[in-house]
Structure 1
């Protein structure tokens, strides 16, 4: 018999190095999944909204307006037109003006003019007052005579104003105004307040206003002041009464945004002032020039 074939020895098994078991994957809770989905939706909405805004012409218009307003503000600061709040008067007052005043009517009730005159906040005090006298062809302000008498006693320089109704005769309104008000040397010129059309055409309004101011000037020898707000002036009066002194209402602004060629001398810059001796809010005004120019304006 042939010799038996020897089988090669089976190598001994090497000990396997134990491997770390992989940690089982953590499953996200339903709340976590919902939060992630909600966040993703919010991001998509935000991105879509931003794209819509950036592509919208309204956005660019807003940006341009904001830039323009900011640039004007920078220019205003450069021109020393600070807009400071005076605590006692409870209003912001444009800087660069030294002569301040108010205008009143029966709305302010019974006024203690001595207290008005005595009020002072860092040099700002009341120098003048425009007082409502009449309206239309029949209505006289019930507090006019008292205010017209008591304000000058307190040392305040006064002017009377008439509230103009364009649908009424300008001539008859002027006659009524002069019958009610007796101006004297040292008073401010008479004022006509025109600020609404009352369903009258602009041309008809200007015709009646022209009759009014012409009659006043012929009878007193002094051109009356025309009071109006800035939009009414620009829409209906600009270019028609340029040789008259203007009193413009334009609220809560550091500068009066009107052409330097405009003959304005008074600016009503706020309707919310608080004045000692007056229970209601009051319109606050400034005079454009210095004391010399102010006294030249008074009735000689």
Structure 2
């Protein structure tokens, strides 16, 4: 890999945050995708195929939709990881696959993991060269350690059966994130989607992403797409590391019946340096100090106090206030 020794860097830094989020994994088989529609439906991340190795002759190839997919997904704010469809039978091939992956990823801000996607079938080349679990772990580790050396978060994708029988899952999961495929009939080529409160697959090892099915229920896709549940998300961080709530607009003006975004100009940072603006709450009160709804304020001319509150992870709170002026409609 020739990049002058530079590792991945991004203008915006991200901090991993535990939470359940929906994602998809895509390749050329999905064709053209309306990523804006997918995001609006609740898709938070995408694992995008960048390249692979032929299941037959073992030649390397680039997914023809990789550039289109990653550029379009990132343009609408979907966080992206990538995966390489591996047919590596030794560590030399795994290193070769990792090198191609890094070359393809370097011009993009990859926030989600870079995955070693290892799959097998009776007619795949990997089935002709069976390996023991220790060797398979070394093959996966070669790919993962190589991409990690360039600043990416490594991950191993495999079905539940392969994780138990082809790899040695305890040591593998202790070193790298695991993306496990384990389809439930309810979600396999149906219009159903896993709901967060339902049970997760039980394993003897930890995993951080679950490919739970194939659905045609996601807007933006012409047909079926693999669905994933991530157990983490990457929140954008800012340079400041002190707990902060700042209201830059101390006076907000509007007219009768015209709502405004009361969070415009609000800056919030947690003590971990994470952008906490989505967690700011506010209450509105009238000149008598009585709490009113936002709809009430816009429907009644007057002056209102807007009190913003942010609670940090340790329970510390901060409050700021602004005035909301609701004027009579123009011409009244």
Instruction: Tell me, yes or no, whether TM beats 0.5.
Output: yes
Instruction: Give the secondary-structure state (helix, strand or coil) at the position aligned to 1:174.
Output: helix
Deviation track 1:29-70 (CA, whole Å, cap 9, x = no partner) reads: xxxxxxxxxxxxxxxxxxxxxxxxxxxxxxxxxxxxxxxxxx
1:162 aligns with 2:84: yes
Q: Aligned partners of 2:48, 2:220: CA distance in 1, in Å?
A: 16
What's 2:282 paired with? Answer: none
TM-score when normalising by structure 2: 0.53
Q: Aligned partners of 1:232, 1:271: CA distance in 2, in Å?
A: 19
Q: CA RMSD in A?
A: 2.5
What's 1:295 paired with? Answer: 235
Q: Aligned partners of 2:142, 2:170: CA distance in 1, in Å?
A: 17
Instruction: Give the secondary-structure state (helix, strand or coil) at the position aligned to 1:286.
Output: strand
Q: Aligned partners of 1:131, 1:138: CA distance in 2, in Å?
A: 17
Q: Aligned partners of 1:211, 1:173: CA distance in 2, in Å?
A: 10
Query: Would you tell me which structure has more strand in proportion to its own residues?
Result: 2
Task: Summarize the Cα distance change of 1:233–1:149 in structure 2 as closer, same or farther, 3 Å threshold.
Answer: same
Unpaired segments of 5 or more residues in structure 1?
1-96, 120-124
The match for 1:106 among 12, 16, 28 is: 28
Q: Aligned partners of 2:152, 2:24: CA distance in 1, in Å?
A: 22
Quote how far apart the aligned CAs of 1:223 are: 3.8
Instruction: Give the secondary-structure state (helix, strand or coil) at the position aligned to 2:87.
Output: coil
What's 1:191 paired with? Answer: 115
Instruction: Give the secondary-structure state (helix, strand or coil) at the position aligned to 1:167.
Output: coil
The match for 2:147 among 192, 202, 216 is: 216
Quote how far apart the aligned CAs of 1:185 are: 4.7
CA contact (8 A) 2:22 2:43 kept: yes
Unpaired segments of 5 or more residues in structure 2?
1-18, 54-58, 121-125, 186-197, 237-273, 275-332
CA contact (8 A) 1:166 1:200 kept: no
CA contact (8 A) 1:161 1:192 kept: yes
Size of the alignment, in residue pairs?
A: 192
Aligned pairs (5 A) from 1:235-250:
235-237=165-167, 238-242=169-173, 243-250=175-182
Query: Would you tell me which structure has more helix in proportion to its own residues?
Result: 1
- More relative contact order, 1 or 2 (CA 8 Å, 6+ apart): 1
Q: Aligned partners of 2:216, 2:183: CA distance in 1, in Å?
A: 12
Instruction: Give the secondary-structure state (helix, strand or coil) at the position aligned to 2:24.
Output: strand
Quote how far apart the aligned CAs of 1:171 are: 1.0
Q: Aligned partners of 2:49, 2:110: CA distance in 1, in Å?
A: 18
1:181 aligns with 2:105: yes
Q: Aligned partners of 1:263, 1:295: CA distance in 2, in Å?
A: 22
Q: Which consecutive segments of 4 or more residues in structure 1 shift more than 6 A?
A: none
1:130 aligns with 2:59: no
Quote how far apart the aligned CAs of 1:278 are: 1.0
What's 1:205 paired with? Answer: 136
Quote how far apart the aligned CAs of 1:117 are: 1.4
What's 2:73 paired with? Answer: 151
